[in-house]
Structures are given as structure tokens and as C-alpha cells.
């Protein structure tokens, strides 16, 4: 099978590339390296075709889709604060980029496309665990643009017969998660703080819970979706369990400090897993304790990551508090 992974040099994408190669598939990767890293694929460069291209801008990269069977569309801009500050940039990357990918899929008659969506589309859920039919209520432009792109994917699938599946990821963590740039995912922040022997910056009281899903489980779900005969469906991808931020800090071990609770963030993320378990026969394998052990063994990956302090966080998130209001 000839596979194309957009965003294949990124966190989840690079793990997916490994999975596809391990299962005997030919792999091409498109990445503009805005967040992806060449080093994530350095051990695989002789086995893949790697293209530095920007999918948000139409160009000769479209020919890469010729003779491709399956497309795994992971390329996107993430993070909340930058999306508030530069919504146009996020719209172009996440929505226009997805439209361009779909146009190529249609033109070259791709057999299947798997889209990586985000559980952030649920906003602050009214029900836990949260199923795929829950109210869609994005709180910031990142969540909105990922949802808009998902709408495009599912519409193109039904209208043009593209054969698509969308997977809504919950709090993915693991090795190769992004280490540079803006204030972002909790594990990246905490691991850099642990290496620097600085206090963990806990948002609010730390009692909020999250459905953390290890990256290898997410990749298994993506691969299982690609091999299935199912189409035109949306699935949650989570662990189906929750753990508090305070408990994570307890497992990591170290001093802690607190920063203000942020509006627009749910007190809980918790995936209802019944649909994906029933239809795709998929369930996660790595629990949070095992996942943390794995990343601590490779903690040096975060040695160059920015070390966030309460003052830096307060400054970085100022627009968050300015534009997102508590309900």
C-alpha cells in the first residue's frame, strides 16, 4: 500500500510513519517543519520519501498524491494562544490546507483518507464520558479550525465518495511531543521543568482531570481505521479513563506551584469509547503509569524545551484571559 502522511515529521505523524513501514507499506511524507522535526524521521530517511511543502498553498506538491492509495492527514497548527493571536494563520493551515488535501484526494482517486481531529471541538462538555454526538462548542480558533476541517472531510466523503474516517484525539502524550515554541501541552511543560529542577506549574487547583492517551495507542487506532471497511464515521480516540493533574505531578515527583485557572478549559476530558470499541474493535493498551515510565526513560528529548515559570506563563496567556470569558 502506498501511503502519504501529511505532518509526518511531527509528534504523532512520525510514530505513524514507523508503524506503516513496520507493516510493509511504502511511505511518503509532506511536512513544512513549522512544528515537525527532521530529527523525528532521521532514522527512517532512507526508507521514506520526504517533501518539505506547505499544504496551505497550492503548488507542485499536489503531484505527490499520484499513485497514493491511503492519505493520513495529520498536518495542522496546534496550541491555543497562538490561534487566538493569529486566527488567519490557523484558518489557512488547518482549513485551507485540509481543503487542498481533499481536492488532491478527489483528483487522484485516493482509496481512503484518515483525518486527525481534536476532542477540543466539544469545548466544555455537558456530559461525561463524552460521546461523538455531544454538542460541538469550540472555545478558541484552534478548536474551531480543526472542527471546520473535519466538516470538510466528512462532507467530501459523503458527497464525492472519498471514503473518510475522522478520529477525535483526547490529550495525546508520549515521546517526540513538541519541545519548542509557545506554551502548550502539559507533559512537555512538566518534563522541561523536571529536567531544570523547577516547580511544576499547575493550572488552577490541579483537581481537573484529563483523558491522557499514549501516542502508540493513537497510532494503532489510526492504522486500524485505515484497514477497516468503515467509512463516513467519526470516532473518539482516548484511554477511556481520567486522572487528575495533581496525580500526574505526584507520579512525576517534584515541587509544585500554581497559576490561575483559565476560562474555556473543561474541568474534565473523558472519552466515551463505546463506538470505537464496538465498530473498529480497538482499545488502548498503555495505561498512564506505564506511559509516564516510557517518557521518563527518554526525558532528555525535552532538554532543549523552554522552561516555563509562572511569570512567563502569565505573560504568554494574557490574550487567553483577554478574549475567552468564563461561562
What does the pLDDT look like over 56-90, one tens digit per residue? Answer: 999 999 999 999 999 999 999 998 999 999 999 99
Cell of 107: 483528483
Q: Write the burial class of residue 56 (CB in 10 Å: 0-12 exposed, 13-18 middle, 19+ buried).
A: buried
* Rounded Cα gap, residues 261 and 175, in angstroms: 27
Look at residue 96 in the predicted model and tell me its pLDDT. Answer: 98
H or E element that contains 324: none
Residues near 145 by beta carbon (within 8 Å), at least 6 away in sequence: 83, 87, 90, 91, 93, 94, 95
pLDDT beyond 80 at 93: yes
- What average pLDDT does the chain have? 95
Average pLDDT over residues 243-266: 94
Cell of 212: 491522557
Domains and CATH numbers, the chain: 2-172+214-237 (3.40.50.720), 174-211+240-269+286-323 (3.90.25.10)
Look at residue 241 in the predicted model and tell me its pLDDT. Answer: 96
Confidence of residue 184 (pLDDT cuts 50, 70, 90): low
Annotation marks residue 142 as catalytic: yes
Look at residue 179 in the predicted model and tell me its pLDDT. Answer: 58
Check residue 90 and give left, alpha or beta (phi > 0: left; psi -120 to 50: alpha).
alpha
Confidence of residue 28 (pLDDT cuts 50, 70, 90): very high
DSSP 3-state of 296: helix
DSSP 3-state of 307: coil
Task: Choose the catalytic residue: 90, 115, 122, 142.
Answer: 142
* Rounded Cα gap, residues 6 and 11, in angstroms: 12
* Rounded Cα gap, residues 76 and 88, in angstroms: 13
Residues near 160 by beta carbon (within 8 Å), at least 6 away in sequence: 106
pLDDT beyond 70 at 49: yes
Sign, CA dihedral 104-106-108-112, equals: positive
What does the pLDDT look like over 106-152, one tens digit per residue? Answer: 999 999 999 999 999 999 999 999 999 999 999 999 999 999 999 99
Amino acid at each position: 500500500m502506498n501511503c502519504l502522511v501529511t505532518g509526518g515529521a511531527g509528534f504523532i505523524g512520525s510514530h505513524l510513519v514507523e508503524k506503516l513501514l513496520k507493516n510493509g507499506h511504502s511511505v511518503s511524507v509532506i511536512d513544512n517543519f513549522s512544528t515537525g522535526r527532521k530529527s523525528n524521521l532521521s532514522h527512517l530517511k532512507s526508507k521514506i520519501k520526504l517533501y518539505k511543502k506547505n499544504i496551505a498553498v497550492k503548488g507542485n506538491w499536489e503531484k505527490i498524491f499520484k499513485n497514493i492509495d491511503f492519505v493520513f492527514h495529520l498536518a495542522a497548527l496546534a496550541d491555543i494562544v497562538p490561534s487566538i493571536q493569529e486566527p488567519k494563520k490557523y484558518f489557512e493551515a488547518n482549513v485551507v490546507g485540509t481543503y487542498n488535501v481533499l481536492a488532491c484526494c478527489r483528483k487522484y482517486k485516493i482509496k481512503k483518507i484518515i483525518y486527525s481531529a481534536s476532542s477540543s471541538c466539544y469545548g466544555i462538555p455537558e456530559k461525561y464520558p463524552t460521546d461523538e454526538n455531544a454538542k460541538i462548542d469550540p472555545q478558541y480558533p484552534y478548536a474551531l479550525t480543526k472542527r471546520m476541517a473535519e466538516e470538510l472531510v466528512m462532507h467530501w466523503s459523503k458527497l464525492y465518495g472519498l471514503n473518510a474516517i475522522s478520529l477525535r484525539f483526547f490529550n495525546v502524550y508520549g515521546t517526540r511531543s513538541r519541545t519548542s515554541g509557545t506554551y502548550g501541552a502539559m507533559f512537555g511543560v512538566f518534563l522541561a521543568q523536571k529536567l531544570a529542577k523547577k516547580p511544576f506549574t499547575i493550572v488552577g487547583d490541579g483537581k481537573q482531570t484529563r483523558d491522557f492517551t499514549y501516542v502508540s495507542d493513537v497510532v494503532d487506532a489510526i492504522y486500524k481505521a485505515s484497514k477497516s471497511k468503515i467509512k463516513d464515521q467519526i470516532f473518539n480516540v482516548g484511554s477511556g479513563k481520567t486522572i487528575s493533574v495533581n496525580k500526574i505531578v505526584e507520579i512525576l515527583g517534584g515541587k509544585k506551584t500554581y497559576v490561575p485557572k483559565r476560562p474555556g478549559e473543561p474541568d474534565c476530558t473523558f472519552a466515551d469509547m463505546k463506538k470505537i470499541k464496538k465498530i473498529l474493535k480497538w482499545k488502548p493498551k498503555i495505561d498512564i503509569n506505564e506511559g509516564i515510565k516510557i517518557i521518563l526513560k527518554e526525558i532528555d528529548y525535552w532538554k532543549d524545551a523552554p522552561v516555563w515559570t509562572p511569570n512567563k506563563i502569565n505573560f504568554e496567556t494574557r490574550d487567553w484571559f483577554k478574549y475567552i470569558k468564563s461561562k
